[in-house]
Amino acid sequence: KRRIGVLTSGGDAPGMNGAVRAVVRMAIHCDCEAYAVFEGYEGLVNGGNMIRQLHWEDVRGWLSRGGTLIGSARCMAFRERAGRLRAAKNMILRGIDALVVCGGDGSLTGADVFRAEWPGLLSDLVAAGELTQEQIAPYTVLNIVGLVGSIDNDMSGTDATIGCYSSLTRICDAVDDVFDTAFSHQRGFVIEVMGRHCGWLALMSAISTGADWLFIPENPPRMDGRMRCNRKERGKRRTIVIVAEGAQDRHLNKIASSTIKDILTERLGLDTRTTVLGHTQRGGAACAYDRWLSTLQGVEAVRAVLEMSPQSPVPVITIRENKIMRTPLMDAVQATKDVTAKIHAKDFDAAMNERDAEFKE
Ligand code: ATP
């Protein structure tokens, strides 16, 4: 029987368990065996009981569970060839030559590197006497498929990443709670949400909560006094500002939540508080959408892994216009990197000025 491994890597996201459950059950449905690799690439590098077979009933009830039950880690060893050599050996010893990786762009880049190196890793293992030619013969190609697990919704080429809607739900609940107290005391609240390089989660949060202002890395404001209008005169009892943790000004300097708080206090005369939502955004049960998405994508990942040809590029499972699709992984990663590079580019300020001028016209 073919053996398919599944691992979760990078920052955890609600829905990762749903993805693992779907991979395990679809693999079994397709007459394969499913193996969980615990603690991300760490489990692949260390082997032993960090790689364990999972049966149908082992993943019962996982669909709604938050976090990742098979663990996730940032693994320095896997970034080095020596670590990937150990990972390859552990996989061959377990008879695993197909892997579904659920993680962010870093984890998926690692998966692509691993697949590209695979034949060379196997030859090196034989040359070093760690494996024999007979042992590696059935495993000449490594099939890898990516699933994007990230609360940040920060991958190009897919409308949603597994976890982002659960996180958005959590943020909406928290902002609703803050609304009540803000209303009571006619306060301003600056609410910091996750998103170091990508403002999608903050943008979705601001729209979904009807926030008054939003700060994201991709669209820096002029800190020139636009936050002015007298909100109390307009009968407003609460003012909410959403800030992505990576919010920056046009000179690429971080905009701290405390700076925005000071503006609200001094310029608008609002009694203002700051709330950093932190890791509550990651925790808790997966929302309905993430249960649905992770299941459909997990099923598709197993199909893709079984249908891959040696020449085909590593696919990542995406969703576009409500259709589950396969996209070349490195195209999606490169497009994501291009966007990130743009928002950290030196001429960003000039580009923003140009855009403002066009807007005025
Ligand atoms: P998040 O979006 O939450 O940051 P991520 O998957 O991008 O998730 P990273 O810390 O970038 O998180 O990567 C997770 C792990 O993937 C790393 O600890 C490392 O083991 C592996 N990895 C990342 N980049 C590479 C790479 N270029 N080569 C090999 N392995 C990598």
Q: Of the residues 97, 152, 212, 290, which is catalytic?
A: 152
Q: Is 313 helix (H, G, I), strand (E, B) or coil?
A: coil
Q: Which residue type occupies 183?
A: F
100 or 234, higher pLDDT = 100
Q: What is the pLDDT of residues 265-307, one digit of tens each?
A: 888 888 898 999 999 998 899 999 999 999 999 999 999 999 9
Where residue 58 falls among pLDDT bands split at 50, 70, 90?
very high
**Ligand 1 mean position, distance from CA 109 (Å):** 7
Structure confidence at residue 230 (pLDDT)? 57
Which of 78, 153, 161, 282 has the most ligand 1 atoms within 8 A of CB, as the residue to mutate? Answer: 78
Choose from 83-92, 235-244, 332-341 the range with maximum mean pLDDT.
83-92
Mean of the pLDDT values across residues 19-30? Answer: 98
Mean of the pLDDT values across residues 138-159? Answer: 95
Q: What is the pLDDT of residues 103-144, one digit of tens each?
A: 999 999 999 999 999 999 999 999 999 999 999 999 999 999
Structure confidence at residue 344 (pLDDT)? 76
Q: In sequence order, what DSSP letters do the residues of 233-251 get, joined into one string?
A: TTT---EEEEEETT-B-TT
Residue 42 CA: nearest ligand 1 atom is 20
Q: What is the pLDDT of residues 74-94, one digit of tens each?
A: 999 999 999 999 999 999 999
Torsion of CA 81, 86, 89, 91, to 10 degrees: -100
Mean of the pLDDT values across residues 13-39? Answer: 98
Say whether 195 counts as a known binding-site residue: yes
Say whether 75 counts as a known binding-site residue: yes
Distance of alpha carbon 298 from alpha carbon 303, whole angstroms:
9
**Ligand 1 mean position, distance from CA 112 (Å):** 11
Structure confidence at residue 298 (pLDDT)? 98
Does residue 164 surpass a pLDDT of 60? yes
Structure confidence at residue 194 (pLDDT)? 95
Residue 103 CA: nearest ligand 1 atom is 6
Structure confidence at residue 234 (pLDDT)? 66
Structure confidence at residue 233 (pLDDT)? 60
Which residues lie closer than 8 Å to 209 by C-beta, 6 or more apart? Answer: 171, 172, 175, 176, 179, 240, 242
**Ligand 1 mean position, distance from CA 361 (Å):** 43
Where residue 326 falls among pLDDT bands split at 50, 70, 90?
very high
Structure confidence at residue 338 (pLDDT)? 85
Sign of CA dihedral 174, 12, 332, 24: negative
pTM: 0.92
* Residue 129 backbone class (left: φ over 0; alpha: ψ -120 to 50; beta: rest): left
**Ligand 1 mean position, distance from CA 74 (Å):** 7
Across the chain, mean pLDDT equals 91
Residue 360 — φ and ψ, nearest 5°? -65, -40
Distance of alpha carbon 150 from alpha carbon 163, whole angstroms:
6
Q: What is the pLDDT of residues 189-219, one digit of tens each?
A: 999 999 988 999 999 999 999 999 999 998 8
Residue pair 203/214 in contact by the 8 Å Cβ criterion: yes
Least trusted range by pLDDT, from 4-8, 69-73, 230-234: 230-234
Mean of the pLDDT values across residues 152-158? Answer: 93
182 or 89, higher pLDDT = 89
Where residue 226 falls among pLDDT bands split at 50, 70, 90?
low
Say whether 151 counts as a known binding-site residue: yes
152 is catalytic: yes
Entry field: residues in the chain? 361
Q: How open is the CA angle 205-206-208, to the nearest 5 degrees?
A: 65
Does residue 19 surpass a pLDDT of 60? yes
Residue 13 CA: nearest ligand 1 atom is 3
Closest residue CA from atom 11 of ligand 1: 106
Mean of the pLDDT values across residues 6-18? Answer: 97
Distance of alpha carbon 218 from alpha carbon 216, whole angstroms:
6
Structure confidence at residue 224 (pLDDT)? 55
* Residue 151 backbone class (left: φ over 0; alpha: ψ -120 to 50; beta: rest): alpha
Query: In the structure, which protein residues have their CB atom closer than 6 angstroms to any atom of ligand 1?
Result: 9-11, 41, 74-75, 78-79, 103-107, 109-110, 113, 150
Q: In this structure, what DSSP letter does residue 254 have?
A: B
Does residue 157 surpass a pLDDT of 90? yes
Residue 114 CA: nearest ligand 1 atom is 29
Closest residue CA from atom 25 of ligand 1: 110
Structure confidence at residue 89 (pLDDT)? 97
Q: Is 4 helix (H, G, I), strand (E, B) or coil?
A: strand
Does residue 147 surpass a pLDDT of 70? yes
Q: Is 213 helix (H, G, I), strand (E, B) or coil?
A: strand
Residue pair 162/149 in contact by the 8 Å Cβ criterion: yes
Does residue 227 surpass a pLDDT of 70? no
Closest residue CA from atom 16 of ligand 1: 107
Q: Please state the ipTM of this predicted complex.
A: 0.94
Which residues lie closer than 8 Å to 66 by C-beta, 6 or more apart? Answer: 14, 17, 166, 282, 283, 284, 285, 286
Q: What is the pLDDT of residues 241-267, one digit of tens each?
A: 999 999 988 888 889 999 999 988 888
Say whether 74 counts as a known binding-site residue: yes
**Ligand 1 mean position, distance from CA 277 (Å):** 24
